[in-house]
Amino acid sequence: MEIGKIPENVLKRAVFGQIRTKRSEVLVGAGVGEDCAAIQLEPDEVFVLSTDPVTGTTRDTGRLAVQITANDLASAGAEPIGILLTVLLPPSADESLVRKLMQEVESACEELHIQAVGGHTEITAAVNQPLLSVTGVGKVKKGCLITTGGARVGDDVVASKWIGIEGTSIIAAEKETELLERFSVPFVEEAKGFGRYLSVVPEAGIAVKNGVSAMHDVTEGGIYGALWELAEASGVGLEIELKSIPLRQETVEICEYYHLNPYQLISSGCMLMTSSDGHYLVRELKKAGISAAVIGRCVEGKAKKIVNGEETAYLERPRTDELYKIYEQKHQN
């Protein structure tokens, strides 16, 4: 199989197809596009769980690991509470590396008011670079849980901030020397700084207060992958206006330079939301200083259309994220 997400057909057969034991407490379990599980423990409160590893970069991995998990919880409408860390390190690691990783983790936890409540650290020859996996725990009042599968026919589809900003920041940091031969210092520094936009916790809070029907944070596979997952989970079709999808110029130019498709580039920091009045939601987000745009709507059927002027294309199943091409190019060189 290719590097990246397991193909959807394999996921359904080899993963979901093996999960047979069910419990009545589980409100949301494993499914296409669902980043969080939800378990009702108290009569009026639901615990929400999510887990993710960081494998696409070796820079600022501690902070990124926490942020990605907090984003998953926020996309369910949950308040992030705590995290459990699994840290696997190669034999070449030393104490200073462990300390640096935990400082990155704690910095992100402090900003988001999350406590690191436990985990596991291990030196192992099974990895050749630090591997962090985070399980997040959040809470949400019963009846306020938001899922990827809640979109309804007629809803507007809204995207916050810009697509591709996570991938852009990673590439700018990994390829800084090379990019400076083509682009100005301010341009590259701005692209590297896109990491400051990766939290979707603020927009999720606003979206929940304004009655969104579904949320899904845009991560590996980019906006195209996230749109596919949202439509599949909700059982709706899509009509998306390509020119309405928000993009930063830095992302456009860096993707052109490396021959990458920005619509399939990892995009933490962008939240997909569906609402009966997407334009109202956009205005409420902008009041809080968060840019957003209505990019299309949910329609009947299963067709997932991308409209670009007079041309119409159809979404395909999610592919390997474009970010991995950067590392393939590195190995080829």
pLDDT value of position 259: 95
- pLDDT 10s per residue in the chain (333 long)? 555 565 788 668 777 777 777 777 788 887 888 777 887 778 889 889 999 888 766 678 889 999 999 999 999 999 998 998 888 888 898 888 888 888 898 889 989 989 888 888 888 888 888 899 999 999 999 889 999 999 999 999 999 999 999 999 999 999 999 999 999 999 999 999 999 999 999 999 999 999 999 999 999 999 999 999 999 999 999 999 999 999 999 999 999 999 999 999 999 999 999 999 999 999 999 999 999 999 999 999 999 999 999 999 999 888 889 998 887 765 444
Q: Which residue ranges form the domains of the chain, and what is each CATH number?
A: 8-141 (3.30.1330.10), 148-332 (3.90.650.10)
Distance from C-alpha of 174 to C-alpha of 54, rounded to nearest angstrom:
15
Report in angstroms the alpha-carbon separations of 74 from 103, 174, 194: 23, 28, 20
Predicted pLDDT at 333: 47
Torsion-angle region of 12 (φ positive above 0: left; ψ -120 to 50: alpha; else: beta): alpha
Q: Dihedral (C-alpha) 254, 258, 259, 260: value to the nearest 10 degrees?
A: -60
CA atoms of 268 and 217, how far apart (whole Å): 7
In sequence order, the 6+-apart residues with CB closer than 8 A to the CB of 287 are: none
pTM of the model: 0.85
Predicted pLDDT at 331: 46
* In the chain, alpha helices (H): 8-10, 61-75, 95-112, 165-174, 176-179, 185-192, 201-209, 222-234, 249-258, 278-287, 323-332
Question: What's the pLDDT score for residue 6?
Answer: 59
